[in-house]
Structure 1
Amino acid sequence: MSRASDQLKLWLPQHWPMWFGVGVVWLLDKLPWPEKRLLARGLGWFIFNVLTIRRRVVFTNLRLCFPKLSVQEISILARAHYDSLALGLFEVCAGWWAKKQDLPPYRVVGAEHLDAALARGKGALLLTAHFTTLEIGGRFMSETRSMGGLYRDPNNPVVAHLMRGQRARHMSPAVHFDDLRGLVRGLRSNAAIWYAPDQGKRTKSSEILPFFGVPAITNTATSKIAEMTGAAVVPFFAKREADHSYTLTILPALENFPTADASADAVRINEIIEEHIKHAPEQYFWVHKRFKARGPGYPTVY
């Protein structure tokens, strides 16, 4: 079936509620940022206290990753996470649709590290993780330097259609996460490609390795990709600041990477991600079941 036919199907009545929701969010995105932050706090309160979407998952993840926190501290952190999730929705809209002059204030620290990595001529894996600032951080990066990226289609076809369009608009190349050849081609053409390996699933390139000291399915393919292409692995992270600005931090390319031990390399990446999570723990994507499907010998925590 042609792509045009697939797109026509998106306008069938069963998709109208989603299109209506997209339209509402698009209109709300036109509000000034102070009003959007206020709405986000209200929406975060409503989801946390009324809808309770994945609240048990969030509490479980936080207890596992921060065992020294008290019950009250976990609850405060979880509540702050839902505000962060809600604000992330407005940040998605800004990342997709906002003009450059309408983006919130941000600063870029360490752009010279990406320049140095690309000067080698073998591309760069822009190593990051699934934070609630993911979309707007990608937009900041694309405004700073030309960037490609891996993407995964969401389950909802309307959202998937919109996301594919925005990926193609802001990223070059935009590569589906299953397209290893496309990723390799992009790196060999000396592209910088957004890459977040922190949501593991059972594959040939996964192992059970510690994340905050807790066994979790972990992607070990980063070493293989770097070895195949010679690409530098350059960590970068976006963080909301207390003054409502954003900091995009680009770190130096990993030295002595990859090694002969892909498991040790993956643990090293987990530790880099953990360190950044500690700077703003409420901004990580705790609604994801990070410790699911670990197999025999591991308790079912959700």
Structure 2
Amino acid sequence: MDRPGFTAALLHPRYWLLWLGLGLLWLVVQLPYRWLLGLGRLLGWGMFHLMSDRREVARTNLALCFPEMSEIARERLLRENFASNGIALFEMAMAWWWPRQRLARLAHIEGLEHLNDAAAQGKGVVLMSLHFTTLEIGAALLGQAVTIDGMYREHRNAAFDFVQRRGRERHNLDAKAVEREDVRSMLRSLRSGRAIWYAPDQDYGRKASVFVPLFGVQAATVTATSTFARLGKAQVVPFTQTRLADGSGYRLTVHPPLEGFPGENETADALRINQWVEQAISQQPEQYMWVHRRFKTRPEGESRPYAKRRRRKRRARRG
């Protein structure tokens, strides 16, 4: 995909409110990092109280995944998770707009040799990540050190799409954005020895998925990780990032590539992926994106665990 360019159409009045909001966010993220952490927690507190639908989705997910945890402990974890979601807004803005040198001071990277070894062998890499709240800044920090292409879904708002893509691609001019549905381009990149960020931990429905346990709950799990590794002749290299509690930044960990992957059975591969997902989440559950309806697709005969979304009633027009 070509890099986006600014056009006069993005100055249309329908985008003015968005530009105003982005401008205010740009001003706020000029503050010191520790201030932004505090503001993010405050924002997360507001989100917890105002976003009732998302709060209940996260609460349900935590109950399903950690049934052994007391209700009090899960509620504490839920509140910490919303604090992390609030911080994530400012981390996104930092990743898009902070000077590269200022941002780089927050990175503590481990395991880069695994990506360098793959590059030396001319092997592509499926950089298997997860939807942690830190994913935006984690990808930006790692992208400053090595070239990583990213799976990309075009945003319906053209102005936001422009800002988002510019922000994500600025850290490495050799990086490419690959449309999520453009499998051919992804395989072409892998076969040419490139690394592509990919996260297999969300529910994309029954198509190209199998049901395997995740925290003991049957979960529709995509088989694309196996497909990309096999057809792209690529290694699958897990990647995680952690927001450090001491406020010093982020630990980015590139883990060793999965051995013997893919196997002969896609279901066994999917189970192996979910076992790794469980392990990674369990190390920092407060930083995972629990607001996603991970278990919405159910095996035949099972009902969804989530309450129906509330629909706002439209006020009848007067006169």
Give me the TM-score of the superposition, normalised by structure 1: 0.93
Question: Secondary structure in 1 aligned to 2:11?
Answer: coil
Q: Distance in 2 between matches of 1:165 and 1:78?
A: 33
Q: Distance in 2 between matches of 1:263 and 1:4?
A: 39
Q: Distance in 2 between matches of 1:20 and 1:78?
A: 31
Q: Distance in 2 between matches of 1:57 and 1:92?
A: 23
Distance 1:264 1:36, change over 3 A: same
Long gaps (5+) in structure 1: none
Moved more, 133-142 or 289-298: 289-298
Question: Secondary structure in 2 aligned to 1:131?
Answer: coil
Q: Distance in 1 between matches of 2:266 and 2:4?
A: 42
How far did 1:51 drift?
4.1
Equivalent residue number for residue 79 of structure 1: 79
Question: Secondary structure in 1 aligned to 2:150?
Answer: strand
1:166-185 map, 5 Å: 166-170=167-171, 172-185=175-188
**1:32 and 2:32 aligned:** yes
Moved more, 5-14 or 99-108: 5-14
Distance 1:158 1:259, change over 3 A: same
Moved more, 156-165 or 289-298: 156-165
Question: Secondary structure in 1 aligned to 2:62?
Answer: helix
**1:56 and 2:56 aligned:** yes
**1:299 and 2:300 aligned:** no
Are 1:47 and 1:53, in contact at CA under 8 Å, matched by a contact in 2? no
Equivalent residue number for residue 237 of structure 1: 240
Amino acid aligned to 2:102: D
How far did 1:176 drift?
0.8
Distance 1:235 1:162, change over 3 A: same
Question: Secondary structure in 1 aligned to 2:186?
Answer: helix
RMSD between superposed Cα atoms in Å: 2.1
How far did 1:15 drift?
2.8
How far did 1:53 drift?
5.3
Equivalent residue number for residue 225 of structure 1: 228
Are 1:117 and 1:253, in contact at CA under 8 Å, matched by a contact in 2? no
Q: Distance in 2 between matches of 1:7 and 1:67?
A: 52
Question: Secondary structure in 1 aligned to 2:151?
Answer: strand
Moved more, 149-158 or 118-127: 149-158
Question: Secondary structure in 2 aligned to 1:54?
Answer: helix
| CA offset digits 1:246-279 (Å, max 9, x no partner) | 1000111110011110111111111112111111
Are 1:92 and 1:136, in contact at CA under 8 Å, matched by a contact in 2? yes
Equivalent residue number for residue 123 of structure 1: 124
Equivalent residue number for residue 290 of structure 1: 294
How far did 1:50 drift?
3.5
Long gaps (5+) in structure 2: 307-319
Q: Indicate the percent of aligned positions where both proteins have the same amino acid.
A: 43
Question: Secondary structure in 2 aligned to 1:207?
Answer: strand
Equivalent residue number for residue 158 of structure 1: 159
Amino acid aligned to 2:225: T
Moved more, 166-175 or 127-136: 166-175
Equivalent residue number for residue 315 of structure 2: none
Distance 1:5 1:98, change over 3 A: closer
**1:211 and 2:214 aligned:** yes
Q: Distance in 2 between matches of 1:57 and 1:156?
A: 26
Q: Distance in 2 between matches of 1:219 and 1:128?
A: 14
Choose 1 or 2 for highest CA Rg. 2
Distance 1:8 1:206, change over 3 A: farther
Moved more, 76-85 or 5-14: 5-14
Are 1:114 and 1:253, in contact at CA under 8 Å, matched by a contact in 2? no
Q: Distance in 1 between matches of 2:6 and 2:30?
A: 30
